[in-house]
Amino acid sequence: MPTILCQTLLILSLLSQSPTSLAGLRDVQLRDQYGKPDTLAAHRGRVVVVMVVDAKRLRNLRPWARELREHFDDIDTMLIAEVPADPPTTYERVVEKLGERIPDDVSVLIDMESRWAENLDLDPSRPNLLLVDRNGNLVASYFGSYEAGLASTVVKHVEVVLAEP
């Protein structure tokens, strides 16, 4: 019981902090491997979990995506593959690799300029989960590979944000 109370207090304290500005990223348009563009602004009015990771480590997002799908059907997710500048590559080459590794029904936005990672000072070597409220404010961020304790905290935090008007 004390663990649940501590997690609830942590979530409430995170929600009470002033939101980090995503103003510079809301309208950044990224294309997925099918050429379809998307922006955070397109999801306004919805709770969004943005997942950012190095393109070569996309498989590390699978358990996170599965966990969120199992618990929520009323949130949006944006999967962003951060493409490092070294070694140099092209959008077409990234699309080719994603086609080999990602199921056809999964859309992955390709960030060739590392805008998300650089603007938010993220380490894309492991998954970054960014919880965005209906107003487009970043209310929480999580860093790390999937593990049950962290997943429980993320799920509880999403539930709190979904309960807000």
Q: For the domain that residue 69 is a member of, what is the CATH number?
A: 3.40.30.10
**pTM of the predicted protein model:** 0.86
Order across the sheet with 76-82: list the strands: 37-38, 30-32, 109-111, 76-82, 48-54, 128-132, 138-143
pLDDT tens-digit series, residues 47-74 = 999 999 999 999 999 999 999 999 999 9
Which domain covers residue 45, as residue numbers?
2-163
Query: Residue 8: is its pLDDT beyond 50?
Result: no
Total domain count, the chain: 1
**Region 97-126 average pLDDT:** 94
